[in-house]
Amino acid sequence: GVGRFGPYVKWGETFISIPKGEDPLSVNQQSAEEIINERKIADAPIATYKGEPVTKGTGRFGPFIKYQSIFVNVPKKYDFENLSQSDINELIDAKLEKEANRYIQQWEKEKISIENGRWGPFIKFGKGMFKIPKNKKDEKYTAEELKEISLDEVKKWITAQDKTAFAEKKKPAVKKVAAKKPAAKKSPAKKK
């Protein structure tokens, strides 16, 4: 069949894309089985981490390994085709540590968090990201100071950068439908 992402082979409940360069019209039973077997081999676990299987793949952002629901990018310094168990452990440990240190403070109910970012801490509110202002000494806050900041203070910082951040969203006004006027009667056509 042909789907959103191009031609595919359906195997049970799984849809497997036909590789680029292969003519979809020339796929027969034998070549379809080869495509399915290649996919089975590609999806097979390459190692285990703490008793859980680890698989590898190539995605939009390059090669990755997958552990549970965590995707770990594999940098170019590693040989992706020949990853050792120690390489896999190192990559997954680094990713888990990074995720554990991501949040400085979090208020899930309000969808507000103070997070560590690439260029320092920032505030995340919904999908928006906001800068953390400097303290009274005109210096950047430390992580320890940010852990002590109250939710009200963080809301003030967000409001200073976006006045409408906490504004109540107005519901669209219901439009009144104008009463229909009866159609004007047309004068009958004149006979010649």
Percent of residues, the chain, with pLDDT higher than 90 = 23
- Indicate whether 77 and 108 sit together in one domain: no
**How many structural domains comprise the chain?**
3
pTM assigned to the model? 0.56
| DSSP assignment letter at 94 | H
What 3-state class would DSSP assign to 147? Answer: helix
Instruction: Record the tokens describing residue 148, joined without a space.
Output: 């002590």
Whether 12 is covered by a domain: the verdict is yes
Q: Are 91 and 74 in contact (CB under 8 A)?
A: yes
Domain that holds residue 145: 103-161
- Indicate whether 95 and 126 sit together in one domain: no
Q: Which tens digits make up the pLDDT trace of 7-61?
A: 888 878 777 788 777 777 778 888 888 888 887 777 788 888 898 999 888 878 8
Q: Are 74 and 80 in contact (CB under 8 A)?
A: yes
Whether 49 is covered by a domain: the verdict is no
Give the span between the Cα atoms of 144 and 147, in whole angstroms.
5
pLDDT given for residue 162 in this prediction: 86
pLDDT given for residue 164 in this prediction: 82
Whether 187 is covered by a domain: the verdict is no
- Indicate whether 142 and 157 sit together in one domain: yes
Look at the block and give the residue holding tokens 């104008």. Answer: 178
Q: Which tens digits make up the pLDDT trace of 79-94?
A: 888 888 999 999 999 9
- Indicate whether 91 and 125 sit together in one domain: no
Whether 123 is covered by a domain: the verdict is yes
- Indicate whether 111 and 78 sit together in one domain: no
pLDDT given for residue 187 in this prediction: 67
Any residues with CB less than 8 A from the CB of 127 and at least 6 apart, and which?
none
- Indicate whether 125 and 153 sit together in one domain: yes
pLDDT given for residue 92 in this prediction: 93
Whether 191 is covered by a domain: the verdict is no
Task: Indicate whether 78 pLDDT > 80.
Answer: yes
Whether 27 is covered by a domain: the verdict is yes
Whether 128 is covered by a domain: the verdict is yes
